[in-house]
Structure 1
C-alpha cells in the first residue's frame, strides 16, 4: 500500500511542480509586488533611518537633510535614482523634478543643509514633502492597491478619494465587467443552438460540425482580431454591404467603438462556450426525453422541462470559461476598440511596458484575479445547485 502511495505521489509531482511554477509562484509574486515598497529604502537608507524617529511635526532634523543631499547625489552618479524618483512622483506629481534638481546640485550644497536645500527649492521646507518620503520607506505600502480603486492616503493619514479628474480605475473595472458580461451572454445565446445541433447529429456529421467549431483555434487571436479590424473599417466590406443594401448613405465608424470590441470578442470566444455545452449535451441520457414523450409532452415541453435543465451545467461552464477569458482579454480591444473601450488588461500592459510601474500593474492584476475568482466561485455554486436539482428532476 505504501509503495502505491509513493508511486502516486511521484506521478502527481510533475503536475504539482507545474502548478507551483506556472501559477502559484507568479500569482504570489504579483500580490507581493502590489504592496512592496523598496525603492526609497534601497536608494536612501540613511535618510530613511533619520526619518524613523521623526514625529512628523515641523521639519526633520539636520541629519535627514544632510543624508538626503548626499544620497541623492550618489544615486544620480550611480544611476540608481530613476526607480525611486518614479515611485515618489507617482504618489505626488513634481517629486521627480525636485529630486533630480537636488541631486544635480548636491555638490554645491553645504551645511547647514536644512538652509541650503530650502534655498535651492522651497518644497524642502514643507513638512508634507518629508512625510511623503517617510511613508515611502517601506517595506510595504497600500499606495497601489488604493490607487487602483481611485483612493489615496490623506495628509492626516486617512484614506480619501482622488480628485474627480484623476478617477479612472473603478470605472475601468465596471467597464471590463460590463463588456465581459455582454460578451458572455451573447456567446451563451449563440453557442447553445450550435451545441444542441451538434449533439443531436449522427456520425460522421457530428464530427464534421465539431471540426468546424475548432477551426478558429487554428489561427491566433491576433490574426482573428486583425481580420475584424479590416472587415469593420470605414472602407471595409461591412460598410460597403450596408451602403449597397441602403442601410446607410455614408460609411459608418465602427472600428474604435464598443460594438467592434463586443463583435471581435464574441468571435474569438464563441468556441469556448460551444465545447463545454456540447460535452455535457453529448452525455445526456435520452431516456428522459423518451419518458417525457411517452407521458404526452410535446417537443417544446421536452426541451424546456427536460433537456434545458439537464444541460444547464454545460451552459454555466461555458459561460464561466468565456467570462474568465473575456475579463483578461487584451488583443481584441486594443486593435478594434477606442480609448474608452479598453479593459483592465490594456492598462496592466501599459503600466508594465510604458510606465514600468510594476506596483500599479500588480495591483490591477490582483483586483482582476479577485474578480475572476469570484466568478469561478459563483459558477461553481450555481453549477452544483443546478446539477443537484436537475438530478432530482
Structure 2
C-alpha cells in the first residue's frame, strides 16, 4: 500500500531516532558527570559519614568484641578490661591513643586525659603482665576504670553504625537505660540553628526592603540609565568575596569609617562595637546578597505591562493603592524567588560570618567547619550538614507548594 511504510523504512526511522537519542545523551553527559561528582557524590558521602563511624572499632576491636557480651550492669569481665589494657599499650606505642581518647571524650567528658595517661602507663609493661594481670593493672592505673558509665560510653562510641551524631545535633542523648532525653549539658546546636534562621530571615527582609524599590526603579528607568545602574548592581559579582568582606572590616571596626563619621557628626560620643557582632554579619551579608534579590525582581518587573498601572490610575486609584493592588501581586513570583534564593544562601554562608561575625555572629555553617577542621568530628559535622540540607529542602518544598498552588489558581 502506498500510504504505509515498509519494514525497512520503519527500521530506518527507529535507527535514526536511536542515533538522535545517543547524540542528545552525549551532549548532556558532561553536565550529568559534573552534577554527579560535584553534588551527588559529596552529599551521599556526607549522609553516609553521618551514621558510619568506624574509628573506635578499628582501634580497639578485641575490647569491643568482649563488650558485646556485657549486659551493661556492673563492671565488664576481667577479659574485657585486660583486652583494653593490651590495646592501649599498642595504641601508645603507635602514638594513636589520642584518637581513641578524643572519640570517647565526646561521650564521656574527662576520658581524654584518662585514656592518654593510662596508655602511657601501659606502654612500658610487658605483654605477659598484661595478658595475665591486665584487668588489675588497668584498675590500678586509675580508679575511674571501675565506673560502669565509662564502659557504657566506650561501648556506645564503638558502634560502627550509630545515630548518636544526629542525637547530639538535636541536643539529645541516651541515658543509662538507653532512652532518648534532652541533653543536660552543651545544648548549643538547636539554639545555633534558631539563631541562623533568625539571621537569615533578617537578611532576607533587609534585602527585600532595599532591593524592591531599586528593582522597580530600574524597571521603569530608560534603557540606557537602567543598563548603567544594572552594571553597578552586578559590580559586586566582579569583586572577590574576600575583598568585599575585608572592606567591611575596615568600615565597621572601632576606629573605622562608620564610627569616625558618626563621631564627626556628634551622633555618638564613643565608638560603637559593631565589628565581630551579629549586626556586622547581617550588614555584610545583606550587602553581598542584595543582587540576588534585585535580579529576580527586575526580570519580572521588566515584563509588566505599564498599561495596567495607567488603567488603575485612570479609574481613580491613588498611586500607592494602584501599586499595592496591581504591581505587587504581579511581582510576587520574582519577590518569592529572590527571597528564597537569599534565605537559602544566607543559611549556609560561612566566610563572611567567620571574618566579621566573631563569636556572636557565628552561624551553623561555622560550627560545621569547626568540627571538620579542628575537632575532627566528621560524623557530627556530617549530621549537622545533613540536618541543614533537610531544612533547605523543606523550605524549597514549601516554596514550590505555595507558588505551584498560586499558579494553578491564576491559571
2:3 is matched with: none
- What is the alpha-carbon distance in structure 1 between the residues aligned to residue 224 and residue 204 of structure 2? 30
Is the counterpart of residue 217 in structure 1 residue 227 in structure 2?
no
Structural RMSD (CA): 1.9
Tell me by how many angstroms 1:290 deviates. 5.0
Give me the TM-score of the superposition, normalised by structure 2. 0.89
1:33 is matched with: 49
The equivalent position to 2:404 in structure 1, one of 360, 364, 384, is 384
Gaps of 5+ in 1: none
Q: Deviations along 1:147-173, whole A, 9 cap, x unmatched?
A: 112211111111222225x22111111
Tell me by how many angstroms 1:222 deviates. 1.7
Alignment of 1:248-287 (within 5 A): 248-287=268-307
Stretch moving more, 209-218 or 131-140:
131-140
The equivalent position to 2:359 in structure 1, one of 315, 320, 339, is 339
Q: Secondary structure at the match of 2:72?
A: coil
Is the counterpart of residue 205 in structure 1 residue 225 in structure 2?
yes
The equivalent position to 1:66 in structure 2, one of 82, 99, 119, is 82
- What is the alpha-carbon distance in structure 1 between the residues aligned to residue 295 and residue 57 of structure 2? 51
Q: Is the 8 A contact 2:108 2:150 kept in 1?
A: no
Q: Deviations along 1:14-47, whole A, 9 cap, x unmatched?
A: 2221111111111111122122221111111111
Is the counterpart of residue 152 in structure 1 residue 168 in structure 2?
no
Is the counterpart of residue 361 in structure 1 residue 381 in structure 2?
yes
Q: Secondary structure at the match of 2:170?
A: coil
Tell me by how many angstroms 1:140 deviates. 1.3
Q: Secondary structure at the match of 2:53?
A: coil
Is the counterpart of residue 18 in structure 1 residue 34 in structure 2?
yes
Gaps of 5+ in 2: 1-16
Q: Is the 8 A contact 1:293 1:302 kept in 2?
A: yes
2:254 is matched with: 234
2:7 is matched with: none
Stretch moving more, 347-356 or 2-11:
2-11
| Closer/same/farther in 2, CA of residues 276 and 329 from structure 1, 3 Å limit | same
Q: Is the 8 A contact 1:313 1:387 kept in 2?
A: no
Give me the TM-score of the superposition, normalised by structure 1. 0.93
Q: Is the 8 A contact 1:40 1:137 kept in 2?
A: yes
1:101 is matched with: 117
1:324 is matched with: 344
2:135 is matched with: 114
Alignment of 1:182-201 (within 5 A): 182-201=202-221
2:159 is matched with: 138
1:302 is matched with: 322
Q: Deviations along 1:309-360, whole A, 9 cap, x unmatched?
A: 1110100111111111111122222222232221111111211222122122
Is the counterpart of residue 370 in structure 1 residue 370 in structure 2?
no
Q: Deviations along 1:245-302, whole A, 9 cap, x unmatched?
A: 2211222222122222211111111011111111122223445445545655453343
Q: Secondary structure at the match of 1:91?
A: coil
Computing the radius of gyration from Cα coordinates, the structure with the larger value is 2
2:94 is matched with: 78
- What is the alpha-carbon distance in structure 2 between the residues aligned to residue 292 and residue 3 of structure 1? 55
Q: Is the 8 A contact 1:261 1:337 kept in 2?
A: yes
Residues matched between the structures, number: 390
The equivalent position to 1:161 in structure 2, one of 170, 182, 188, is 182
Q: Is the 8 A contact 2:280 2:361 kept in 1?
A: no
Q: Is the 8 A contact 1:57 1:127 kept in 2?
A: yes
